[in-house]
């Protein structure tokens, strides 16, 4: 039996509605001019934004019989709105 690793590539979510969400810096968001772009968003205060659930958590599985592996993917749709623009910083690298 094989198990995945606990490094940031697995995208561990520490907390969601209490915020404190850790997003791995290894998550690629696109390429431009042959350079990978990474996105990061920082919040200055806990009450910098509000969130509302627009769709419940969806868990999907896919079984690869030949490779003897099972893949699990989860997604959750949440709407977010900034209450105080100066408390939010978006960092884009290119």
Model pLDDT for residues 21-52, shown as the tens digit of each residue: 655 555 556 666 666 666 666 666 666 777 77
Q: How many domains does the chain have?
A: 1
Residue 25 covered by a domain: yes
Question: What is the C-alpha separation between 13 and 56, in angstroms, rounded?
Answer: 16
CA distances from 6 to 11, 14, 80 (A): 9, 13, 28
Domain that holds residue 20: 8-93
Residue 2 pLDDT: 57
Residue 1 covered by a domain: no
Residue 2 covered by a domain: no
Q: What is the pTM of this model?
A: 0.34
Residue in the structure block whose two tokens are 């934004």: 49
């Amino acid at each position: 039996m094989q198990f995945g690793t606990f490094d940031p590539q697995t995208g561990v979510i520490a907390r969601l509605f209490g915020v404190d969400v850790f997003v791995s810096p290894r998550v690629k968001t696109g390429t431009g001019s042959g350079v990978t772009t990474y996105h990061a968003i920082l919040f200055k205060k806990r009450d910098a934004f509000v969130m509302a659930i627009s769709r419940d958590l969806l868990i999907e599985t896919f079984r690869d019989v030949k490779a003897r592996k099972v893949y699990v993917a989860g997604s959750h749709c949440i709407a977010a709105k900034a209450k105080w623009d100066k408390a939010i910083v978006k960092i884009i690298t290119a």
